Amino acid sequence: MEFSEYLKLLGAILTSVGGATVVIIALSKWFGDFLSKRLLDNYNNKHKTELEGIKIKYQGELEKTKTDLEKAKSQFIRYSEKQFDLYNDLWKVLLYTKHQADELWASAIPEKIPAFGEQIKLTRDAIDDNLLLIEEEHYDKLIELITQFDQFQFGKIKLVEIRSKPLEERENITTEQAKRTINQNKRTKENFDNLLMEIGQSFRNQIKG
């Protein structure tokens, strides 16, 4: 075989091998692109499914939260309305009790003391009966006010007893003792007057929200 024929044979082999290589490379590229696309599609589908699941889950939780908020809002409105009515009614009771105390301060008439004591009891009952609707800080002040009313009643009873004693017994009671009782009643009245105004302001703030 001549040298030129060897060259032709070698060229044919190289051409054959080169063509196969090109085909292999092309197939490899196509398969790689196909596999990558499939993997990417699978990932996207899985990711999309997970996102839909999360969306549905949180959508349900959001709806439940909205329902709970609406329920809480409705309950708060009903509570506020009842509290508004209570504070208005309770304030009227407190003012009436103060009015009776003012009358006793102006004139310590013995016949008025039992009615004042009964009014204190009614006021205390009104507070206790509506405990669930009264703010804690307001309740504490109201109980303090009732205590002041009780002390004022006691002071008036004491003063009436002093003035109602027979003349022979009054000799043992000095003017200073009577004056101390009157001054103590005055301080008690000033205390419950100031406390009542403080309660009125706190009631007003509570109603305004």
Please write the tens of the pLDDT for every residue from 19-45: 455 444 554 565 566 556 766 666 667
Asked if 116 contacts 96 with a C-beta cutoff of 8 angstroms, the reply is no
Asked if 127 contacts 134 with a C-beta cutoff of 8 angstroms, the reply is yes
What does the pLDDT average to over 79-100?
Answer: 88
pLDDT at 52 over 60: yes
Q: Can you read off the two tokens belonging to residue 200?
A: 């009125």
Residue 133 DSSP label: G
Give pLDDT tens digits for 151-165: 999 998 888 877 776
Listed ranges 51-55, 137-141, 177-181; the one with the highest mean pLDDT:
137-141
pLDDT at 82 over 50: yes
Q: Give the integer Cα–Cα distance in Å for 25 and 125.
A: 97
Positive or negative: CA dihedral 185, 189, 190, 192:
positive
pTM of this prediction?
0.59
Q: Give the integer Cα–Cα distance in Å for 135 and 63.
A: 32
Bigger pLDDT: 167 vs 75: 167
